[in-house]
Amino acid sequence: MTRILDGKATAAAIRAEVAERVRELTAAGHRPPGLTAVLVGEDPASQAYVGSKVRGCAEVGMVSRTITPPATISESELLGIVDGLNRDETVDGILVQLPLPSQISEKKVVERISPEKDVDGFHPVSVGRLWLDQEGFTPATPTGIVELLKRNGIPLAGKRAVVVGRSAIVGKPMAGLLLREHCTVTVCHSRTADLPSVTREADILVAAVGRPAFLGGEHVREGAMVIDVGINRISDPAQVERLFPGDEDRRRQLAAKGYTIVGDVHYTEIAPKAGAITPVPGGVGPLTVAMVLFNTLKAARLRQELSGGAR
């Protein structure tokens, strides 16, 4: 029987561990970790994501703040905000929510964040440390996936892992983290020839392409561990029925919200073949916020020169 990898439960366990370490920190007379998010404009998806991070901070006893400049802010003004946060000794983690308006270079903004406060793990220094196996911050989503696999007792060393997608946020760091765990890693992308023949080699298959139900039954071998990173909205009733035939819950979601959330894998085709799989929603998504909180605790401990980082 296919195991369902419960990201909600794993994320709750991580948050509880972070909360305990924050209590230990403050009980020893140290200040609580501080996380500041910069949310430019009023994108609903970004607002919801930043809101979840703020709620997470409150849950674990961290101090959070959200700065909300208008979408018309200039690049120099935004860089000035980042500079101020870099200087602020009460701020341990800085998150600049992406994407940014077209007049602003995301590359310049990310590179302006102090590497010691880069809890998103996107700064070039953080990327370099990942690939050089040095201590540093790694992006929340792929880091959360490794935690999910480990905490569910799924062995990694020696396994063949295939990552479909090569983004700087998920695909590339996912490959780096799996290499750290001694997997043999293949990264696939839009120009990969005969994709199904490659993905069928995977013991661990990570789908991170941003296309609804892109991977089907022909892409996975029997017993593979399938990690679905995708979060896609679909609103076409015919497409919902094709992907989830006879699923009354999906029909009700579509009727109530006008859409339903699906991943990058065709769940009804792949789940019966997989040894384990993450659902969408409730799989990878909850882990992202949990690992941002973990990274913020780690940053606070390092910046206060306490041993052991977040562990």
Reply yes or no on whether 253 is catalytic.
Answer: no
SS3 of 55, please? helix
Rounded to whole angstroms, how far apart are CA atoms 130 and 138?
Answer: 7
Number of DSSP helices (H) and strands (E) in the chain, helices first: 12, 11
SS3 of 139, please? coil
Rounded to whole angstroms, how far apart are CA atoms 90 and 93?
Answer: 9
Cβ partners under 8 Å of residue 129, min gap 6: 135, 136, 137
CB 101 within 8 A of CB 74: no
CB 159 within 8 A of CB 223: no
Reply yes or no on whether 134 is catalytic.
Answer: no
Identified catalytic residue from 53, 159, 172, 298: 53
CB 227 within 8 A of CB 284: yes
Identified catalytic residue from 120, 203, 228, 264: 120
Strand 232-234 versus strand 260-262 pairing type: antiparallel
Q: Residue 234 — φ and ψ, nearest 5°?
A: -125, 140
* Helices 285-303 & 7-27 angle (0-180, nearest 10): 20
Reply yes or no on whether 53 is catalytic.
Answer: yes
Rounded to whole angstroms, how far apart are CA atoms 174 and 179?
Answer: 9
Count of CB atoms situated within 10 Å of the CB of 55: 11
Identified catalytic residue from 92, 97, 264, 298: 97
Catalytic residues: 53, 97, 120
